Structure 1
Amino acid sequence: MISRVLVDHLLYTCPSRKNCVGKINLTLYTIMPCPFVSRLTTAYVKKYASPLISMYQRQCPYLARSVSIATACSQQASVESLKQSEPFTCPVDEVNRCNRCPFLAANKTAIKSVSCPDAVEFAEKPVLDVDIATDKLDFNYESHFQSMIAKKKMDHSYRVFKKVNRLAKQFPKATEHTEMADSSKPITVWCSNDYLGMSRHPKVKAAVQEALEKHGAGAGGTRNISGNSLMHENLEKDLAKLHQKQAALLFTSCFVANDTTLFTLGKLVPGMHIFSDAGNHASMIQGIKNCGAPKHIFRHNDVAHLAELLSQVPKWVPKIVAFESVHSMTGDISPMEEICDLAHKHGAMTFIDEVHAVGLYGDHGAGVGEQRGILAKMDVISGTLGKAFGNIGGYIASTSNFVDFIRSYGAGFIFTTSLPPTVLCGARASIEILGEDEGRLLRRRHQQVVGYTRERLRAVGLPVFNSKSHIIPVHVGDPAACTRVSNELMRFGHYVQAINYPTVSRGEERLRLAPTPFHDKAMVDQFVLDLCEAWHIAGLGLMPPQQSVQQS
């Protein structure tokens, strides 16, 4: 219907319309497939067809071809028609509709107020008859990509990867090659997720080397087609035992584990409602959003708000509450037992991401759930092999039926090559070490270093977040300043990555420190001195000593 309205407008404004029938039919043909114009109301198109066509014929590939063909017979007549038009202001709701169109959204500000002189000036430019098969009017992909990248650079959210080669025999030291690939400088890494240095543990490396010699580098296929082995199944048994669950399932990463599990639940459990913490990781958000199930977002770690939302859904309706135990960017630890009890009271399952906790908390390194003695209240646990365990990959642990359900229906598990033998054997060795006395000693030493680092930062007045975990965020609040501090620290020989949008909200930019058991007091003291200097260079102020930044 809308396509015909635009065609009628072109016919009405064309004095040679008798000669335009063939071209107008072609115009209709080219507008018909447009998925964006069709979303506008017919009334809106009737009222604003002329300025709409004039303003956006070059942004929209459908309008561009249509107008070029239909107006070639009488450009001047169209111009005169536009000259007689009155300025207009689009209704707000129609402007909002334009947000759905990638071509119109780029000019959202212009849509709000379009004047006739602008439209006339645009229309007076020469318009030639164009063969619709030509690619001259196709969407300019490269230009669009370039403009989107430019936006990231303008707001300082563009990511420049540091070239850092870690040194296994000198952990946490590394060499940095960002300036010139053929030159390097020694640095100390303060932001690695290899929290306990297990990637360079002699027993882990030996297990990897043995697996490489015996089984080769790759897995050979998906788990269903030649990519399953005793090593996969033994590691899954180890993980199930670690979390005191019936079964576990491996994924290529915990991003995939979270995304696949939550998506599959939301898609295949009839009537499922998902309750998600506002601070959840992008992997959880993606799975929840894409599954299409009703979602309810509760304020970060706000049990009262969750209770309010849960009370609005009948107890018999399927539901799941998804949250993280240790939040990666604030370092805070969730009120896990309260959330689990509340969820079960309302008939909901619980899904807890322990990615930043496994290996680091609990007597055997099973995470905060083990430390607090609430593993039985955690229905589904997701974790990673890529942080404290020093390898790569992700997993879930739960009941046998739940794991088999995800194994059978989860596309992110089914349609991908499985983890290689080197990773499987390295991870098994790491889990074994961290479950024994050596692991307990590492965890104690780790907490001591974290405590000392936090104390020294507060003593000099740096705005440290009041977190209870091993993660120490330092608030900056400005993307340019955050990047500047990070770069200055690198110049001093310390690597701390600036954390800007979209990893954190705008205005919440920060440095994220993750000291390891192998950062000694001398390293910490020098780092704090250099951070104060970098802070001063960036023009940032200090807080009164011993104060902390409260979580927003």
Structure 2
Amino acid sequence: MPCPFLGSLNQAFVKNYGATLMKQYGNYCPIISRGFRSLGNDETKCPFIQQNSIISEAPKEMTEDIAEPATPYHYENFFHDQINAKKRDYSYRVFRKVSRLAADGVYPKALEGPENRRVTVWCANDYLGTSRHPTVQDAAVNAIKSYGTGAGGTRNIAGNSQMTEKLEGEIAKLHKKPAALIFSSCFVANDATLSTLAKILPDCIVYSDAGNHASMIQGIRNSRAPKHIFRHNDPNHLRKLLADSPKGVPKLVVFETVHSMSGAICPLEEMCNIAHDYGALTFVDEVHAVGLYGKHGAGIGEERGLQDKLDIVSGTLGKAYGNVGGYIAGSSLLVDTIRSLAPGFIFTTALPPPVLAGSLAAIRLLASEEGRNLRAKHQAIVRYLKLSLLVAGLPQLPSVSHIVPVPIKGADKVALVAESLMKRGHYVQAINYPTVARGDERLRFAPGPYHTPEMIDNLITALIESFHENNIRFSEFMINGTCRECSMEYKVDIGYEEPLKYPMQVA
């Protein structure tokens, strides 16, 4: 049934001005006006549609695929199950409320829990206490007063500060490289560099140590480059894999000098030589070595006179240097390539002025004679802890570095011992999956130059009590004061001096 009003008008006119006519005269139409008042009732249907069933309802074929309203996913239930699974296998992490103290005479103690109970910290990676050195503190405070607390954005947008360039120049000088590039963390430095480099090098193949840190693993995965994993610190396995690789394609060999969880040090020269024999670049992580080894604190590469064999070295400003941030050092063109192409660098806010100034002061400090004295005291106290564990018959993994791992199998057991130690005034974090493999749980001690032999003696007593309290057996390595394996008598006698006293003013 055609509309008598619209039917009397020109069709072109209706087509062009239908919306305007509907808006202006719609209320006068008995059919449309009823539809506006009671939309959806059958009585308001247009007579034309009612009389033509072909368009009054959709065919069955058109309605069969109409989906029912989706049931919402229970996100919170999923998260709840994930956390419960972590708690059931004792791998759930509980962050201790620990505020490390920096004042002279109380470091390396901290305030723990709501009661602010004083405990001795044994697991911080501020290995040499640089974070609380007055030279480093003063540099950071002065930078805040001069330049504020924040960087204001990425280096591309907010600008490249002079302190940034000074710090990169100092890092390059430390590692004897033409250039360096700083990042917000060494995780980002490793991830951004490896993912970018392995992605842009045509047909690049990566050879990765099985013990590599998660940051390097993540970077290699993100590159999507083909990879081969060689056994931890095994140069023979590396050689075999490289010998089977195609000739004439880019290759990256990626490994650490000091392993963070075992304290092992890699056969650096042999691994670099093998990599170079097969035309590969070496990417060497010195995160747990910078500041701690070598005449100027450049790491294992400097200590062994092998800095020229490290094509790309990565390090951190957040451990021995007592600040935060990471870096790489290498050739000028390589560093410029990462600077220009790595999203992890390009789109990240720059390090703030106090961190830049504090890091620059820390690198210079640890490259000086005072830094060499700190390293000597550090190594002395590490030896004292290792020998004390041995004499007490307590377990320890073989470590030739400053990291002292005490194995306690079982995530539940290692957590209980850590809790027992905390009750006795000693803070050390339990290490479990995914930081280490299941079954390789441990306590990881990192004594520093401001721990004393008396502190270690108290720790050993607390460890023995904690093992007994939690029914954990440990082997006796000593029989009548001598080693049960070789009958050598152990004398714990080291040349330990009191920690350095900071001068009131530093030039």
Same fold (TM over 0.5): yes
- The residue type equivalent to 1:238 in the other structure is E
Following superposition of structure 1 onto structure 2, how do residues 455-470 of structure 1 map, counting pairs within 5 Å? 455-470=387-402
Aligned counterpart for 2:65 among listed residues 25, 40, 44: 25
Aligned counterpart for 1:146 among listed residues 69, 77, 80: 80
CA contact (8 A) 1:464 1:548 kept: no
CA contact (8 A) 1:475 1:511 kept: yes
Residue 296 (structure 1) aligns with: 228
Gaps of 5+ in 1: 1-18, 28-129
Secondary structure of the corresponding residue to residue 313 of structure 1: coil
Residue 480 (structure 1) aligns with: 412
Aligned counterpart for 1:471 among listed residues 384, 390, 403: 403
Which structure has more RCO (C-alpha within 8 Å, separation ≥ 6)?
2
- The residue type equivalent to 1:173 in the other structure is K
- The residue type equivalent to 1:263 in the other structure is S
Aligned counterpart for 1:500 among listed residues 406, 426, 432: 432
- The residue type equivalent to 2:215 in the other structure is S
Q: Following TM superposition, by how much is the alpha carbon of 1:20 offset from its aligned partner in structure 2, in angstroms?
A: 6.7
Percent identity of equivalent pairs: 55
What is the distance in 1 between the residues matched to 2:266 and 2:321? Answer: 22
Aligned counterpart for 1:165 among listed residues 80, 88, 99: 99
What is the distance in 1 between the residues matched to 2:463 and 2:484? Answer: 17
CA contact (8 A) 2:191 2:220 kept: yes
CA deviations 1:91-131 (Å, max 9, x no partner) are xxxxxxxxxxxxxxxxxxxxxxxxxxxxxxxxxxxxxxx43
Residue 451 (structure 1) aligns with: 383
CA deviations 1:329-377 (Å, max 9, x no partner) are 0000001110000000000000000000000000000000000000000
Aligned counterpart for 2:241 among listed residues 309, 312, 317: 309
2:210 aligned with 1:272: no
Following superposition of structure 1 onto structure 2, how do residues 51-130 of structure 1 map, counting pairs within 5 Å? 130=68
What is the distance in 2 between the residues matched to 1:23 and 1:145? Answer: 37
CA contact (8 A) 2:257 2:285 kept: yes
- State the aligned residue count: 421
Question: RMSD across aligned C-alpha pairs, in angstroms?
Answer: 1.4
Gaps of 5+ in 2: 1-58, 486-507
Residues 20 and 531 (structure 1), Cα distance of their counterparts in 2 relative to 1, 3 Å cut? farther
CA deviations 1:378-401 (Å, max 9, x no partner) are 000000000000000000000000
Residue 357 (structure 1) aligns with: 289
Residue 174 (structure 1) aligns with: 110
CA contact (8 A) 1:466 1:548 kept: no
Aligned counterpart for 2:312 among listed residues 380, 385, 393: 380
Of the two, which has the highest radius of gyration? Answer: 2
Q: Following TM superposition, by how much is the alpha carbon of 1:22 offset from its aligned partner in structure 2, in angstroms?
A: 4.2
Secondary structure of the corresponding residue to residue 395 of structure 1: strand
What is the distance in 2 between the residues matched to 1:352 and 1:287? Answer: 14
Residue 351 (structure 2) aligns with: 419
Following superposition of structure 1 onto structure 2, how do residues 315-330 of structure 1 map, counting pairs within 5 Å? 315-330=247-262
What is the distance in 2 between the residues matched to 1:540 and 1:23? Answer: 68
What is the distance in 1 between the residues matched to 2:72 and 2:227? Answer: 38
CA contact (8 A) 2:258 2:265 kept: yes
Runs of 4+ in 1 over 6 A off after TM superposition: none
What is the distance in 1 between the residues matched to 2:215 and 2:484? Answer: 30
Residues 238 and 533 (structure 1), Cα distance of their counterparts in 2 relative to 1, 3 Å cut? same
Residue 371 (structure 2) aligns with: 439
Q: Following TM superposition, by how much is the alpha carbon of 1:23 offset from its aligned partner in structure 2, in angstroms?
A: 4.8
- The residue type equivalent to 2:247 in the other structure is K
Residue 89 (structure 2) aligns with: 155
- The residue type equivalent to 2:75 in the other structure is Y
2:153 aligned with 1:221: yes
Residue 131 (structure 1) aligns with: 69
